[in-house]
A = this chain, B = another copy of it.
Amino acid sequence: MKTASMAASLLIPLCLCILLLRGASAVSDQQEAGRRDSCDRIDRRIRALEPTRRVDSEAGHTELYDDRDGQLPCAGVAAARITIQRNGLLLPSYSNSPRLAYIVHGRGIVGVVIPGCPETYQETSSSSSQEQEDDERRRRGRRGDEERRRSSEGEEEEEEETSRRSFEQSIRDEHQRITTVRQGDVVAIPAGAPFWVHNDGDSPLVAISVHDVSNNANQLDQTSRRFRLAGGQARSEGRQRYGEGESSESETERGGEESYNILSGFDTELLAESMRVSPDIARKLQGRSDKRGNIVRVRRGGLRMLRPATERVTDEEMMRGANAAAAAGNGIDEAVCLMKLRENVADPMKADLYTPNGGRITVLNSQKLPVLKLIKMSVNRGVMRRNAILAPHWNINAHAAVYATSGSARLQVVSSEGRRVFDGELRRGQMVVVPQSFAVAGRAGDEGFAWVSFQTSDGAMNAPVVGKSSALRGMPADVLDNAFGVSREEARMVKFGRGQELAIFSPKSGAAARRRRSPGHRDDGVLAAPA
């Protein structure tokens, strides 16, 4: 054998391995990491969840959905309902897992700080000379104390103080963009990104928030941890551990433990020096004596911040603004910094799925809101009329945490063994998990039913059992005939009985109602107008 040809023949059959390897290194996955907590108990029984713990703050409260059935741990999620009173401020915090929040009621302002992104809202002093004077006056009042303290720290400090003072005169403030939210909005908050919320409306702001603790983004264990950047002592409401049996009890005890903001964990001297502020200020940041809780009342009538003039800016406008600012940053790719974090799912005209006399569903996935690709969650918003039927289906690639925003429905959830693990009313304010693959169906109550469903995949899919594009319709009638022991005609009834209806079916009286309405009619977002 010749050396040259041998070397060649050595290389040729490597194709196989290299092609494989090449595939391996290519891009990658958007399905979730396997969720490994036990789902044993959900094969037995699931119950509708009510909040079990409430943490009160100065200007609002947080209600936590704890859970003994194991449905939330099985789904790898944690849920809370947050109520912020008028003029309240939810203090900044971040978490080890991403979350989606749905605004159930009210309006407000959300600031999500994406680390590393530029402060694109900037105000220079010339823009607001009135405020500057106010500040100047206040500053003079305090100057005495500070100067006395500082003079003992040597001449270097003075130099810095001078430069800082001149700096304050040129830039009054700057921060990352803020987002206005209102009822029906979904807000996406990535893992590790701090955020705060301010209620600048006239009524309480209520949000239901679901953390995806099993998300790839979380490299800690299946515990939802909240890291508060400000605020004082609180019970550890933001840390929900899901373990086996007894540990979840011990968790409840631990729930009574004191929790502080993360700055309080640092040595005051170190913190002061790292911020170049006085130890007094550092001590205030640590907030050990602050008793206001996580939601505080904004002082002096309202939160001043930089905002575009119009109340509700279009996203295009916001992006243009940010774009221009970021463009100054030398061609940095601003994709992440500009990602839209909010989308409304309440507008009936934007529904993805509509059944006359039945209801509508609006899907929000990563196709519509690209940040969900990062967060790997999606949301469905559904509204059903009185007695309408939620068609039997299962979730193919996600769990769903379903929260009832109004009305009620009787839902049934069925396990792999054909056991009805949930059979009950889901009422306004309650939550239930429909685990992946489990079958679910239901019927809206007399007041109709509206819900928001948080799903643990950014492209959650479900498979209907009957109706359009359904499992049964995808099979030959003869398969159904033999499978169910029905006649071929009956098999066709099963396949085609619901015609073109999908997801939400009209109730029995639907046909009559249909005749009484004009064909172009759309329901108006008000629930359950009786037909």
Contact = CB atoms under 8 A, between A and B. Distances in A.
B11 A118 contact: yes
Interface in A104-146: 111, 113-119, 121-122, 124, 135, 138-139, 142
Contacts of A512: 154-156
Interface in A461-501: 461-466, 468-490, 492-500
A49 interface: no
A21 B395 CA distance: 12
A317 B142 CA distance: 65
A249 interface: no
A113 to B, nearest CB: 4
Contact of A474 (B119, B192, B231, B482): B119
Contact of A416 (B157, B259, B489): B259
A342 B412 CA distance: 36
Contact of A36 (B163, B191, B222, B332): B222
Nearest to A489: B139
Given A479-B305, A484-B230, A171 B471 contact: no
A315 interface: no
Contact of A441 (B216, B270, B325, B486): B270
A414 B225 CA distance: 12
Contacts of A449: none
A150 to B, nearest CB: 12
A415 interface: yes
B332 A14 contact: yes
Contact of A274 (B2, B392, B458): B392
Contacts of A517: none
A428 interface: no
21 contacts: A1-B163, A2-B170, A11-B118, A13-B468, A16-B363, A17-B117, A21-B459, A26-B27, A27-B29, A111-B476, A113-B475, A155-B512, A157-B511, A176-B474, A220-B437, A266-B412, A266-B420, A274-B505, A276-B493, A298-B482, A304-B478
